[in-house]
């Protein structure tokens, strides 16, 4: 019986599906273990061999935990809303729901493309997913609950005093009884103070407008990343080098009324929570930097000849007497109010120019110095001197207050700005307020060893003393106070897209109202086109049926809006991160129609024990998920403060691209080895046309594209055309994609799984090289031959295991168990190879060894393990069989091969029991014929014996 991976794998994949082998129970006496992968966005391109890396690792771990007796939840689903499907719909005229479904389930799309389908691709690799819990974020039965969570956020506020979110009704009660003067809440800036009597006298609309300033999700005019080419707002992590990641369209800063989430309310909890989770330090540091906690002071500068005030947050209040100028972000609200007529045109031109640069680009660009004087002056709170007010794009509206009190002697960017504009428009000479510090060449940014000078009442004080003195003085004159600030901004939650979760919101008198949860889901309507309307409204503005009948509680035709009982619905949709910010909880109870998960299921599974995914989600998905989890805990729904106990970021599998070399100005291609003095243009060639020896199939290449059909090829002397190779990111545009389907078809899924684990440490990037896969396939065939002979079938016997057999097995048990717990999967595969080689050389076919070996291999190569287990006579799956127990006694050596030396030179070796004393060893050695021959009748002067180490006869 020959090893036939395709036949075996099809058999066992069918068995697992029919028997629900990996279905987890929500009511088990076993201890629980929840293993989760970051679920994929199902693109039409399908999986390449880089995608399954993390899934294979999590699957190895899941299968290992089942062998250890755990009830393992290992689910999978699809993050199926998003911009790519919408863009594809716009380009091809297909419905996003249709293309998304085909991308998942497989089939032929409207353009006639055969799509393999994510589900079929994943199944071929043999993952132990509990498919009975599959979720798709674009299914109404899923986003019904996303809409419900949005309503909970809308109906909540955050109490600073208690440090948690509460129902908005509790805040209303406080307003009714006390007003808002003593309320410690996270809310909009500059909320007006009112008494209980005033609140109770307000109209319902007035009350709603005030409550919007406190709600956890709220409508506000904010600076956003607007992408005209895509017709939507983009998150910071959707922009690369000032253009959209999708399509490469320009992005500008623009003010729009948007839904936002008060993630800033949770800044301190998000920061402190990092101390309690097992994540890599690099990911934690990314989040710490993104949250950006700063301790300092708020300072108010009055604007001369205006009633306006410029509020500044500074971490260096001790340097307040060093303020030389002020800089506002170009988008700052005050710019238009304080700019003089003489400077208006210059300022407006500068604002238009900077609107085309993203926040990330502006933050990263530390070399470019640009700015414009507004013509206005602020007043120093202590000296009352005039301070020129500039605008500059190195200041961001979304960070701090969007204003900087510039102290050039203590800050490099301020120093560069002041020197660049020195002498222009009132830009004064740089003041030095540090004693015994030379600032002629650079600013002094350190807080250490600071002695303040030229600073009135601060002279002679150090950083801490001066900071406290300034804060006290500012509070005394009513122009500042101590403050802790965070860089973390509230998250914009609106997208001008079609393919996203509809908001459960309608508008009465321009104010948002929530649709009652019992009427959810509000299902995405049909539209004729997925572009914005002619008057610039989001794509849902094209919907014919998109109005809310508040009397009959249903969606009705848009033209029925009367603003009496039928009202317009929200036209924006939720961002891509909405559905992914809580999906791990849905897996706990995926078919619950009434709740996102039952209290019992949430209590049982609690949180994710192991989460595997890409580090690119550090400040996006991972931060938003922690935020929603903490909010849901505050509201009594989530059982834990943190969603993911342990996080591992898998590295990227890189492609090995192939290049042909076209001689410039010709249609001739020269082999890599014959380039010589030719001026050539490297061109990507599809790796499927290149063999493991880097030889190009010239005829295939000519047939690949019409313009290559008549190409000439200058080959090596042996007639071969050799391509160049380069390791790059695996992508379709580089023609270096290898699909798992092809590998599975040729070598089998077990080979793919083992090879991906064997490539190197999980968290490191590593290049794919198909040539190396044959070695892993050869290992599996060798493993098979320990159990089964091609001609005689099963050759496993009941012979007693030898000492060497047991040593090989238990070395492997110990190594594999330790490696899986430490996520060192590559070294486990090496150990399997060593073990099989040793057992083969020992001619071992003992059941006592080969049964536990099949279990050891099972997490990595489950199909062959299942088949071997069945061949051994078992009638149930290997999946939950107990993991073999390591016994250290089999690795303890009972004897040692001693080198026997004469005057320090080794002459022969002798194997002796390790429990012999030095005297016993000497007696044996002195009687050995080889010793007698070496001594030739002489008596040694000294016999040095260290049991377990050396034997040396001297003299």
pLDDT digits over 559-582, tens only?
Answer: 999 999 999 999 999 999 999 999
pLDDT of residue 511: 96
Reported as type and span, the H/E element at residue 684 is: strand 680-685
Instruction: Round to whole Å and give the CA distance between 414 and 288.
Output: 25
Query: pLDDT grade, residue 841 (50/70/90)?
Result: very high
pLDDT of residue 407: 97
Reported as type and span, the H/E element at residue 222 is: strand 217-227
Starting at the edge strand found earlier in the chain, the sheet holding 547-549 runs 554-556, 547-549, 566-568
pTM > 0.85: yes
Burial class (CB in 10 A: 0-12, 13-18, 19+), 202: middle
Query: pLDDT grade, residue 220 (50/70/90)?
Result: confident
Query: pLDDT grade, residue 221 (50/70/90)?
Result: confident
Asked whether 397 and 358 are in contact (CB, 8 A), the reply is no
pLDDT of residue 423: 86
Q: Is the pLDDT of residue 523 over 90?
A: yes
pLDDT of residue 318: 96
- Each residue of 766-813: pLDDT tens digit? 999 888 899 999 999 999 999 999 888 999 999 999 999 999 999 999
DSSP string covering 116-173? --HHHHHHHTT----GGG--BTTSHHHHHHHHHHHHHHHTEEEETTTTEEEEHHHHHH
- Each residue of 883-903: pLDDT tens digit? 999 999 999 877 888 999 999
pLDDT of residue 745: 95
660: its two tokens: 């042909």
**Higher per-residue pLDDT: 953 or 44:** 953
Q: Is the pLDDT of residue 107 over 80?
A: yes
Helices assigned H by DSSP within 679-763? 698-704, 740-747, 749-758
pLDDT of residue 227: 86
Average pLDDT, the chain: 94
As a whole-number percent, the residues of the chain with pLDDT over 90 amount to 83
32: its two tokens: 């629980």
pLDDT of residue 90: 78
Instruction: Round to whole Å and give the CA distance between 877 and 790.
Output: 24
- Each residue of 632-685: pLDDT tens digit? 999 999 999 999 999 999 999 999 999 999 999 999 999 999 999 999 999 999
Question: Averaged over 130-138, what is the pLDDT?
Answer: 97
Which of the 8 DSSP states describes residue 690?
A: B
Residue written as token pair 């990641």: 245
Asked whether 574 and 501 are in contact (CB, 8 A), the reply is yes
Query: pLDDT grade, residue 237 (50/70/90)?
Result: low
Instruction: Round to whole Å and give the CA distance between 270 and 256.
Output: 28
pLDDT of residue 531: 84
Question: Averaged over 934-952, what is the pLDDT?
Answer: 92
Residue written as token pair 């290449």: 701
- Each residue of 32-62: pLDDT tens digit? 999 999 999 998 888 999 999 999 999 999 9
Q: Is the pLDDT of residue 534 over 80?
A: no
Backbone phi, psi, residue 500, to 5°: -160, 175
Q: Is the pLDDT of residue 409 over 90?
A: yes
Instruction: Round to whole Å and give the CA distance between 504 and 523.
Output: 9
Phi-psi region of 428 (alpha: psi -120 to 50; beta: other; left: phi over 0): beta
Question: Averaged over 247-258, what is the pLDDT?
Answer: 84
**Higher per-residue pLDDT: 893 or 436:** 436
Query: pLDDT grade, residue 238 (50/70/90)?
Result: confident
Q: Is the pLDDT of residue 905 over 90?
A: yes
Burial class (CB in 10 A: 0-12, 13-18, 19+), 414: buried
As a whole-number percent, the residues of the chain with pLDDT over 70 amount to 100
Q: Is the pLDDT of residue 616 over 70?
A: yes
Please state the length of the chain.
Answer: 955
Separation of CA 349 from chain center: 39
730: its two tokens: 């695996």
379: its two tokens: 């007043």
Question: Averaged over 311-335, what is the pLDDT?
Answer: 95
Asked whether 745 and 116 are in contact (CB, 8 A), the reply is no
């Amino acid at each position: 019986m020959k090893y036939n991976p395709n036949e075996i794998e099809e058999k066992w994949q069918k068995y697992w599906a029919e028997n629900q082998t990996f279905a987890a129970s929500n009511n088990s006496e076993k201890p629980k273990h929840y293993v989760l992968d970051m679920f994929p966005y199902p693109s039409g391109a399908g999986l390449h061999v880089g995608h399954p890396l993390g899934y294979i690792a999590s699957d190895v771990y899941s299968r290992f935990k089942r062998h250890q007796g755990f009830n393992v939840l290992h689910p999978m689903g699809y993050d199926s809303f998003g911009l790519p499907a919408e863009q594809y719909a716009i380009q091809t005229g297909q419905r996003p729901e249709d293309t998304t479904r085909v991308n998942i389930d497989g089939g032929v799309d409207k353009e006639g493309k055969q799509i393999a389908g994510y589900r079929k691709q994943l199944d071929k690799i043999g993952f132990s997913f509990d498919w009975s819990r599959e979720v798709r974020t674009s299914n109404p039965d899923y986003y019904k609950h996303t809409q419900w969570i949005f309503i909970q956020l809308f109906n909540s506020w955050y109490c600073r005093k208690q440090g948690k979110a509460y129902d908005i009704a509790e805040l209303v009660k406080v307003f009714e009884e006390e007003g808002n003067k003593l309320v410690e809440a996270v809310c909009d800036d500059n909320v007006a103070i009112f008494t209980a009597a005033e609140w109770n006298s307000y109209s319902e609309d007035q009350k709603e407008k005030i409550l919007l300033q406190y709600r956890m999700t709220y409508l506000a005019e904010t600076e956003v990343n607007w992408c005209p080419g895509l017709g939507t707002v983009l998150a910071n992590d959707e922009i690369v080098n000032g253009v959209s990641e999708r399509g490469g369209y320009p992005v500008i800063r623009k003010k729009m009324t948007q839904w936002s989430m008060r993630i800033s309310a949770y800044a301190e909890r998000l920061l402190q929570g990092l101390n309690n989770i097992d994540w890599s330090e690099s990911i934690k540091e990314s989040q710490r930097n993104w949250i950006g906690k700063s301790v300092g002071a708020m300072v108010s500068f009055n604007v001369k000849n205006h009633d306006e005030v410029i509020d500044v947050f500074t971490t260096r209040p001790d340097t307040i007497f060093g303020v030389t100028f002020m800089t506002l972000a170009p988008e700052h609200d005050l710019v238009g109010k304080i700019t003089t007529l003489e400077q208006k045109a210059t300022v407006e031109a500068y604002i238009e120019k900077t609107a085309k640069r993203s926040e990330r680009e502006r933050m990263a660009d530390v070399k470019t110095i640009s700015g414009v004087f507004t013509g206005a002056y602020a007043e120093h709170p202590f000296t009352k001197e005039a301070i020129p007010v500039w605008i500059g794009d190195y200041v961001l509206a979304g960070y701090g207050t969007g204003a900087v009190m510039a102290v050039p002697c203590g800050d490099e960017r301020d120093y560069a700005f002041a020197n660049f504009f020195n002498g222009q428009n009132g830009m004064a000479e740089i003041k030095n307020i540090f004693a015994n510090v030379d600032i002629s060449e650079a600013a002094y940014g350190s807080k250490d060893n600071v002695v303040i000078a030229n600073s009135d009442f601060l002279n002679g004080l150090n950083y801490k003393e001066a900071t406290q003195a300034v804060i006290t003085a500012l509070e005394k004159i009513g122009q500042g106070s101590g403050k802790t600030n965070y860089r973390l901004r509230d998250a914009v939650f609106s997208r001008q897209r079609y393919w996203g979760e509809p908001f459960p919101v309608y508008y009465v008198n321009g104010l948002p109202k929530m649709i009652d949860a019992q009427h959810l889901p509000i299902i995405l309507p049909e539209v004729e086109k997925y572009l914005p309307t002619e008057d610039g409204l989001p794509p849902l503005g094209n919907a014919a049926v998109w109005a809310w009948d508040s009397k009959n509680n249903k969606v009705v035709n848009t033209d029925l809006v009367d603003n009496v009982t039928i009202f317009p619905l929200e036209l924006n949709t939720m961002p891509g991160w909405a559905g992914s910010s809580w999906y791990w909880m849905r897996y706990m109870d995926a078919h619950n129609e009434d709740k996102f998960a039952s209290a019992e299921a949430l209590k049982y599974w609690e949180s994710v024990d192991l989460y595997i995914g890409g580090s690119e989600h550090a400040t996006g998905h991972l931060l938003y998920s922690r935020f929603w989890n903490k909010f849901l805990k505050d509201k009594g729904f989530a059982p834990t403060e943190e969603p993911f106990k342990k996080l591992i970021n898998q590295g990227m599998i890189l492609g090995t691209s192939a290049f042909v070399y076209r001689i410039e100005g010709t249609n001739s291609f020269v082999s890599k080895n014959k380039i010589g003095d030719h001026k050539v243009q490297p061109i990507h060639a599809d790796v499927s046309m290149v063999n493991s020896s880097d030889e190009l199939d010239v005829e295939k290449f000519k047939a690949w594209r019409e313009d290559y059909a008549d190409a000439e090829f200058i080959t090596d002397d042996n007639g071969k055309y050799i391509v160049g190779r380069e390791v790059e990111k695996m992508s379709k545009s580089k023609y270096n994609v290898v699909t798992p389907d092809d590998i599975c078809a040729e070598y089998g899924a077990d080979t793919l799984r083992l090879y991906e684990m064997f490539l190197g440490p999980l968290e490191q990037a590593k290049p794919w090289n198909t040539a190396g896969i044959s070695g892993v396939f050869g290992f599996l065939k060798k493993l098979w031959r320990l159990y089964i002979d091609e001609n005689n079938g099963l050759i496993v016997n009941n012979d007693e295991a030898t000492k060497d057999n047991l040593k090989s097995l238990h070395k492997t048990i110990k190594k594999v168990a330790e490696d899986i717990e430490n996520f060192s999967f590559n070294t486990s595969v090496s150990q399997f190879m060593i073990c099989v080689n040793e057992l083969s050389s020992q001619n071992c076919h003992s059941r006592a060894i080969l049964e536990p070996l099949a279990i050891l291999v099972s997490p990595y190569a489950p199909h062959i393990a299942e088949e071997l287990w069945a061949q051994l006579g078992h009638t149930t799956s290997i999946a939950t069989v107990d993991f073999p127990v390591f016994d250290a006694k089999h690795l303890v050596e009972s004897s040692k091969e001693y080198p026997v030396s004469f005057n320090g030179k080794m002459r022969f070796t002798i194997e002796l029991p390790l429990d012999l004393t030095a005297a016993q060893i000497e007696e044996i050695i002195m009687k050995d014929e080889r010793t007698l021959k070496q001594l030739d009748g002489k008596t040694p002067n000294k016999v040095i014996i260290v049991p377990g180490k050396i034997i040396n006869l001297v003299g």
